[in-house]
Structure 1
Amino acid sequence: MTDSQTTRNTTRPLQVRPPGRRAAWAIGGVVAAALLLSQSLKVIPAGYVGVVFSAFSGVKSGVRQEGIHLLMPFVDRVNLYDARLQEVTLAHNINDGDEGAIRARSQEGLDITADVTVQFRIDRAKAAILHKELGRNYLQTVIRPQVRSKVRDAIGQFSAADLISTQRQAVEASITTALRQVFERNNLVLDSVLLRELRIPDSVAKAIEQKQTAEQQVAVEKNRLQQANISAQRAVVEAEGAAKASVAKARGEAEALSLRGRALRENPQLIQLTVAEKLSPGIQTVMLPSDGNFLLDVANLTKPKTGN
């Protein structure tokens, strides 16, 4: 080897690998770990429950409650369901697709329009069954159509006059009973049914009001007649009582006179006693008991003697 070749070999620069490839691998590892961690952990917010769907086994039976849960990454997926109190309102001023308020017919076939609010919640313990059988669209597939159906059925059991007057609570009770059974079958919990308004045609409402007014007037007249009859019966009873009292008094007086007469006949001295009672105190007399019945003049007996 010549000196010139040695010089060229010693002056050739060293080749060093760039550091960017290692950093890229490190960053990629961090991103992969973060992605894996995000797929492994799931936070269930307050008021919700989670239903886990596995790519291997389908919907899992358990329900995940509020908090942080560990999942199998890229295999398990959590579906959140709101377990808080919810409500659906069917009313004439609510945009609800084809119709808002519920249109029904009364017992006699009159058109009735009802505004209804239903408050409900899902059954937390059965959220997995709900997800498997109904899915997230249970509001459209079960709740709305069933509310309409049960409200129509309940309204059809009553007359229009009863619906707008005395049977409103009975209608709510009938709807509540029917809907509670449907909700339980579909893993839902019914909280309450609020019958907000019942509307009937104005002409029918006016006729019903006139009929009710007439019935009230008849009831008032019947009440007055009953009161008059009661007063008359009371007067008759009082008159009969007074008559009976008079008869009893007369009978008593007659019996008293009869007894007095008998006593005078049996005891002649009582005659002198009676006369004395009548004359007293105007005439001063005294009756002395003796075998000879007589009266003594007290004035003559008490008169002072005069000299001869």
Structure 2
Amino acid sequence: MSSNALAKLIGFALIVLVLITAAAQSTYVVQPGFRGVQVTLGKVSEQFKPEGFGTKVPFVSTILPVPIRQLTRELNAECYSSDLQQVTVRLRVLYRIPEAAVVKIFQDYAGDPFDSLIAPRIQEALKEVTALQSAEQIVKKREEIKTRSLASVKQKIGDILYVEDLVLENITLSKELEAAIESKMVQEQEAAKARFTQQKSQIEADTVIIKAKGEAEAIRIRGEALRDTPGLIQLQIVEKWDGKSPLVIGGGENTGTNFILPLGTPASSPPVKK
């Protein structure tokens, strides 16, 4: 092969390579859950690219992906309570970049607004909320702290992106303060137990008194009924009679003594003296 033919072959191969490279550089694919931002010679296009396949100017334009699905980041916040106790809050932040703000977020925050926009606002919101509560209340009112902090963060950030939730994973106090809170809780539980025992004893004592008063009242009413109605005694005797007539035997002449022998009484049983 002559040198002239070889040169032509090399030139043709280079042209084919350039065309293939240009074709590859003139297309792009935006994956699901992302939007594309087009940068041409350092200038950002005002319109984002939707997900899917598209074409662009080769070599001078670049399509950079920006996520619009929900993202999660972790954060530690150092705060102080109203009683000047240091509180460390560990939390997860769930946020999302709205589609309409993709280009602005890319221009202002290089596509990742967490460190420069979200984290400082969350730190600020948590410090404002915890400063109004004692350290003990911060631990007890975790859900309230989260709700108020989330509302404050949304107000501070606005619509440029959505902070969808804050998950407070852990609230850490100093060891001395944790021991003091635990001791206080134990004392409160013991006091509550003592109050319960006292109330139970009082109820039992009141029950005994009420029962005794009821029995005394029943005895009084029964006594008055027997006094006012003598025939009631005879009625009760009749009601309890088993239908057997007693046998009365005289004790002898001039003795004035009689014996009552109930019917059915065994012969060995002694007679009843009347």
Same fold (TM over 0.5): yes
Cα pair distance change 1:225/1:180, threshold 3 Å = same
Of 117, 125, 140, the match for 2:92: 117
Matched, 1:235 2:208: yes
User: 1:204 — aligned with what?
Assistant: 177
Matched, 1:78 2:63: yes
- What RMSD over aligned residues (CA atoms) do the two structures have, in Å? 3.5
Cα pair distance change 1:186/1:126, threshold 3 Å = closer
Matched, 1:87 2:61: no
User: 2:129 — aligned with what?
Assistant: 154
Q: Percent identity?
A: 18
Of 147, 166, 178, the match for 1:173: 147
TM-score by length of 2: 0.72
Cα pair distance change 1:51/1:245, threshold 3 Å = farther
**Distance across 1 between alignment mates of 2:55 and 2:149:** 43
Q: Give 2:191's aligned amino acid.
A: V
1:275-286 equivalent positions in 2, closer than 5 A: 280-282=245-247
Q: Give 2:85's aligned amino acid.
A: L
Deviation at 1:115, TM superposition (A): 2.1
Larger radius of gyration: 1
User: 2:27 — aligned with what?
Assistant: 41
Deviation at 1:221, TM superposition (A): 1.7
Q: Give 2:120's aligned amino acid.
A: P
Q: Give 1:71's aligned amino acid.
A: K
Q: Retained in 1: the 8 A contact 2:105–2:112? A: no
TM-score by length of 1: 0.65
User: 1:3 — aligned with what?
Assistant: none
Q: Retained in 1: the 8 A contact 2:101–2:160? A: no
Of 195, 198, 203, the match for 1:225: 198
Q: SS of the counterpart of 1:146?
A: helix
Q: Give 2:21's aligned amino acid.
A: L
The runs of 5 or more residues in structure 2 that have no matched partner are 250-274
Q: SS of the counterpart of 1:18?
A: helix
**Distance across 1 between alignment mates of 2:90 and 2:9:** 66
Cα pair distance change 1:278/1:108, threshold 3 Å = same
Matched, 1:59 2:21: no
User: 1:188 — aligned with what?
Assistant: 162
Deviation at 1:17, TM superposition (A): 9.2
Q: SS of the counterpart of 2:4?
A: coil
**Distance across 1 between alignment mates of 2:212 and 2:232:** 30
**Distance across 1 between alignment mates of 2:43 and 2:170:** 48
Deviation at 1:20, TM superposition (A): 4.4
**Distance across 2 between alignment mates of 1:50 and 1:259:** 106
Q: Give 1:148's aligned amino acid.
A: Q
Deviation at 1:279, TM superposition (A): 10
**Distance across 1 between alignment mates of 2:221 and 2:47:** 94
